[in-house]
Structure 1
Amino acid sequence: MSLRVAVAGASGYAGGELLRLLLNHPEAEIGALTAGTNAGEPLGRLHPHLPELADRLLEPTTADVLGGHDVVFMALPHGSAAQLSRELDDVPLIIDCGADYRLTDEAAWTEFYGSDHAGTWPYGLPELPGQRDVLRQSRRIALPGCFPTVATLALWPAYRAGLLAPAVDIVAFTGASGAGKTLKPHLLASEVMGSATPYGVAGTHRHTPELEQNLSALAGVPVEVSFTPVLAPMTRGILAVCGAQVLNGVTDGDVREVYTKAAASERFVHLLPPGHWPTTAAVTGSNSAHLQAALDIRRQRLIAIGAIDNLTKGTAGNAVQCMNLVHRFNENTGLTTVGVAP
């Protein structure tokens, strides 16, 4: 039996990516599509790449519209999902693509988001050790942020194996789609093209506590994160460059061994051959994370690099992956490891 699926926030980039994937999911029947200011508009005006849904009208984002579905994906600005989810008790599965339920630390939420903490839902990154068992039993799931997705995957094998000191530097380059569709002068094409711009510098980006939460859980001790995102002149993709001191005695062979073992059983994690480095172009449109790691022998530092498509593995693809786990479908149903080139 097909799942009747609704997408709240269908007019945005994440919502559009969800619909692109769901159209190719054999077990999904697309139900209500909702929006805020775009309610009443035909979807085709906002997502002309989805001709099968072009005539569908966007409805208001209300519990009355979204209730009665088997799955509701919420691709909404932070702060919006918490109230709405409380009104959807009848929905068997809600997957929040936003930030509202990601953090376990109430104080960290208040510091970085400036509002009351809504609570914590199971964390929707299946590749984390033991997390698939948690997600299969879950009916409310909080997706990771796009930056924490790629950086956690890049560092997870090393921290899980105890190879690294509990402090890491992360610089991540992202495409403009990560900021959403809202009109902002600094995201105009004339501002972005031909320029790379850091933002959220010196520990101020909201994904910092989420990165520390993930890596600390993997390491078993608190991990300090210095995170700098950089807006790059591209539409999609994130490239994360992570550096951390290795513990005494760790060799390049040790690094290769733990990364090879970690990636071997993961459908969507691809470890590149030695000397080959991830690129954002190679993962465009796919649910894959491409990884590489090497030891800087002179500095005794691990350099781990990961690339994902921020809209697919970074958001919508991960959401579909979690839905597949909950409903016991093959985990890759409706998803691909194949990118789009050139």
Structure 2
Amino acid sequence: MKQPVAILGASGYTGGELARILANHPHVEVVYASSERFAGKPWNAIYPHLGRAGSLILSAMDADAAADAAQIVFCALPHKTSMSVVPRLLERGCTVIDLSADFRLKSAATYEEWYETPHIAPQLLAEAVYGLPELYREQIRGQKLIACPGCYPTSVIVPLYPLVKAGAIEAEGIIADCKSGVSGAGRSPSQGVMLSELNEGFKAYKVGKHRHTAEMEQALSEAAGRELTVRFTPHLLPQSRGILSTCYVKPIGEGDAEAARELLRQAYADEPFVDILPAGVNPATSDVRGANGVRISVDMDHRTGWMLVISVIDNLVKGSSGQATQNLNLAMGWEETTGLETVALFP
């Protein structure tokens, strides 16, 4: 018998991607889906690609109605909204997989600094587990509140965490130069993501103040055993999906690219979704389109002494809904790859 699942915020890109992934999951069935904009309409009227898998009628958001329908709830809600709903879901005994930023940071003060709003459920921050399975798998198992990482942090933390923890690179001076497809900006219309504004263009945005910086620093500081800062600049690509992150780091001692590759191979040897590429091969966002993978390369710029660690993910899959499904599987004790075996789409 399939487990009933609810999705709050089902009409955004992450909600739609969850529906696509969970439609092929053998252990769950989405029985409740909410949307403030499209309540009363069938899901597949908003996302025709869902076909018969999306015939469910969308409802106005109601935490108690969601909990009545399902004990597994995905919150694909905007930041600042999720923290007003999650406490009630937990009171009702639900397993909550939150895709917003509201429970990713352990410090309420840090959250309030970056998100410019008081955190109304700070008592849950210590309870929430950061949902990056490659690093926190055992903590995620059986957990009731899982905070899924942001897309940019996933693309930076996965390749750098083992290198920082092993002392293979300098913890200070990390530069994360990241590019994302426009779906990362969400589905709400705005001038900056119109085709005529974005097409044939390329730009940096939120320079020096992107909120995902705090997540990167939290995880990498843990790896380093002390506070560190990350120089992070995001850029907007004229494409729908994908993140490519080029991280510039300084190796310590006699470290070189092959040593770093070997360290990453050992760290992720048993990981089903992480690939460490051989020397001379660099990843492209098309390598992971529609799949839950992370592909990583390491190169050495011998002229300057800097190492380049490059990673790619699909921001809507490993950067969001696929990783949320990975967390679902761990929380419920299912095989971690269930529902996520899809290979990338190409071309």
Structure 2: distance between partners of 1:233 and 1:299: 31
- The aligned amino acid for 1:181 is R
Structure 1: distance between partners of 2:86 and 2:109: 22
CA contact (8 A) 2:32 2:56 kept: no
Name the counterpart of 2:88.
87
Q: 1:336 deviation in Å?
A: 2.3
Name the counterpart of 2:193.
187
Q: Does 1:292 align with 2:282?
A: no
Q: 1:310 deviation in Å?
A: 0.3
Show CA shifts across 1:226-265 (max 9, x none): 1000000000010001011111221333212102212311
**Count of residues in correspondence between the two structures:** 339
- The aligned amino acid for 1:320 is T
CA contact (8 A) 1:166 1:222 kept: no
- The aligned amino acid for 1:14 is T
- The aligned amino acid for 1:124 is G
Structure 1: distance between partners of 2:111 and 2:71: 29
Show CA shifts across 1:25-50 (max 9, x none): 00001110101122112211211110
Structure 2: distance between partners of 1:221 and 1:164: 14
Q: Residues 64 and 106 (structure 1 numbering): CA distance in 2 closer, same or farther, change over 3 Å?
A: closer
- The aligned amino acid for 1:108 is T
Show CA shifts across 1:180-234 (max 9, x none): 11010110011111001110102x0000111100111112222210100000000
Q: Percent identity?
A: 39
CA contact (8 A) 2:142 2:333 kept: no
Name the counterpart of 1:316.
321
CA contact (8 A) 1:59 1:65 kept: no
1:200-239 to 2 correspondences below 5 Å? 200-202=206-208, 204-239=209-244
The farther-off stretch of 285-294 and 155-164 is 155-164
- The aligned amino acid for 1:127 is E
Structure 2: distance between partners of 1:248 and 1:91: 51
CA contact (8 A) 1:288 1:337 kept: no
- The aligned amino acid for 1:172 is C
Q: Does 1:76 align with 2:81?
A: no
CA contact (8 A) 2:293 2:318 kept: yes
Q: 1:160 deviation in Å?
A: 2.2
Name the counterpart of 2:181.
175
Unmatched tracts of structure 2, length 5 or more: none
Q: 1:277 aligns with which of 260, 270, 282?
A: 282
1:116-131 to 2 correspondences below 5 Å? 116-117=118-119, 118-119=121-122, 120=125, 121-128=128-135, 131=136
1:258-269 to 2 correspondences below 5 Å? 258-269=263-274
- The aligned amino acid for 1:5 is V
Name the counterpart of 2:6.
6
The farther-off stretch of 115-124 and 204-213 is 115-124
Structure 1: distance between partners of 2:211 and 2:12: 20
The farther-off stretch of 112-121 and 308-317 is 112-121
TM-score, reference length from structure 2: 0.95
Name the counterpart of 2:340.
335
- RMSD across aligned positions (CA): 1.2
Structure 1: distance between partners of 2:257 and 2:199: 38
Structure 1: distance between partners of 2:139 and 2:27: 22
Structure 1: distance between partners of 2:18 and 2:258: 39
1:34-45 to 2 correspondences below 5 Å? 34-45=34-45
TM-score, reference length from structure 1: 0.96
Q: Give the secondary-structure state (helix, strand or coil) at the position aligned to 1:59.
A: coil
The farther-off stretch of 218-227 and 175-184 is 218-227
- The aligned amino acid for 1:62 is D
CA contact (8 A) 2:261 2:297 kept: no
CA contact (8 A) 2:4 2:72 kept: yes
Q: Give the secondary-structure state (helix, strand or coil) at the position aligned to 2:85.
A: helix
Show CA shifts across 1:82-122 (max 9, x none): 11112222243100000000011222211110111233211
Name the counterpart of 1:49.
49
CA contact (8 A) 2:256 2:307 kept: no
Q: Give the secondary-structure state (helix, strand or coil) at the position aligned to 1:290.
A: strand
CA contact (8 A) 2:43 2:56 kept: yes
Q: Give the secondary-structure state (helix, strand or coil) at the position aligned to 1:40.
A: coil
CA contact (8 A) 2:300 2:308 kept: yes
Q: Does 1:325 align with 2:330?
A: yes
Q: Give the secondary-structure state (helix, strand or coil) at the position aligned to 2:32.
A: strand
- The aligned amino acid for 2:302 is I
Q: Give the secondary-structure state (helix, strand or coil) at the position aligned to 2:345.
A: coil
- The aligned amino acid for 1:291 is I
The farther-off stretch of 231-240 and 67-76 is 67-76
CA contact (8 A) 2:292 2:314 kept: yes
Structure 2: distance between partners of 1:60 and 1:247: 54
Q: 1:337 deviation in Å?
A: 5.5
CA contact (8 A) 1:138 1:326 kept: yes
Unmatched tracts of structure 1, length 5 or more: none
